[in-house]
Amino acid sequence: MSLTEADDFLAETRALAALLNGRPPEDFERATGFKGWTVNDVLAHLHFWNLAVDLGGFDVADFERLAAEIASAASSGRLRALEAGRAGARGPELAALWLANAEQMVPRWREIDPKRRVPWMGPSMSARSAMTARQMETWAHGFEVFDLFGVEREESDRLRNIVVLGVNTFGWSHQVHGLPVPPAMPELRLVAPSGAVWTFGDASAGRIAGEAIDFAAVVTQTRALADTTLTCEGEIARGWMSRAQCFAGPPETPPAPGSRRRRAA
C-alpha cells in the first residue's frame, strides 16, 4: 500500500519551490504577512520540521535527541534560532536544500504503512497523519509567500487532505480553547478545485458552505473568515469557524479581517 499523502506533500513543496526559483537573495529577506516572518524564516521552519518528521519515521533515537533540543529551545524562546541554525543556509541555497531534502525523504515515506505510528512532539501519529501535516504546513506557510509576491497559487484536489484534517480537528478547535465539544459537527458542503462537491457532517448542527480552499484557509488560519466565500448557518458553525485551528500547539488567534491578503504583483 503506497502512502499517497507523501506525494501530495512533495507536490506542495514543488509548487512553492517553483515560485521561489530564480529569485534573488534579497527577496528571501522580505517580510511576509505572517508575524513578520521573512521567506528565509518560512523555509528554515519548513525544512527543520521536515527533518524532524523524517527522523521520527526512520531514526527514533536521533528524533528523541532532537525533541529534547526542541523542548529546551521552546522553553527559552530560541526555537526560531534553532530552526535557522539547523538549516545553516539562507536565500536560494536554503531553498535548494529544503527542496532536495523533501525529494530525498518522500520515496522512503511512500513505502511506509500508512497506519504505522511514528513519534512526535506529544502523542505519536500515523504515517498518513505525519505526511498530511507536512503538506498542510507547506501549503499554509506557502500562503504568505504567494501573497508576498502577488501570485495566485494553482490549487488541486490534493487540498482534500487539508480539508479532512480540518474536519478531524473539529473537536480540537474547541478543546484547545477550553470549550466543550458540541455533540455533532455542522454539515460542510465545499466546492473542490476540480468542481467536485465534498460533503461532511450533520445538517442538524448547522451548515457551512463555500470553496474548499476557503475552508482550508480558515482552519489553517491563513485567512480571516470574513475574507472568504464561506457562509455559516447556526451557532456551532459560526463558533467553530471563528476559532478553527487544525494544527497543534497553544490556542492561536485567527488573522484579523483584511490582514492577510495577496499583495499587488
Whole-number pLDDT of residue 265? 63
Whole-number pLDDT of residue 262? 81
Taking only the tens of pLDDT, the chain with its 265 residues reads: 578 999 999 999 999 999 999 999 999 999 999 999 999 999 999 999 999 999 999 999 999 999 999 999 999 999 999 999 999 999 999 999 999 999 999 999 999 999 999 999 988 999 999 999 999 999 999 999 999 999 999 999 999 999 999 999 999 999 999 999 999 999 999 999 999 999 999 999 999 999 999 999 999 999 999 999 999 999 999 999 999 999 988 999 999 999 998 877 6
pTM of the predicted protein model: 0.96
Whole-number pLDDT of residue 22? 97
Task: For the chain, give every domain's residue range.
Answer: 4-154, 160-243
Whole-number pLDDT of residue 87? 92
Q: Which CATH class is domain 4-154?
A: mainly alpha
Whole-number pLDDT of residue 48? 98
SS (H, E, C) the chain: CCCHHHHHHHHHHHHHHHHHCCCCHHHHHCECCCCCCEHHHHHHHHHHHHHHHHHHHHCHHHHHHHHHHHHHHHHCCCHHHHHHHHHCCCHHHHHHHHHHHHHHHHHHHHCCCCCCEEEECEEEEEHHHHHHHHHHHHHHHHHHHHHHCCCCCCCCHHHHHHHHHHHHCHHHHHHCCCCCCCCCCEEEEEECCCCCEEEECEEEEEEEEEEHHHHHHHHCCCCCHHHCCCEEECHHHHHHHHHCCCCCCCCCCCCCCCCCCCCCC
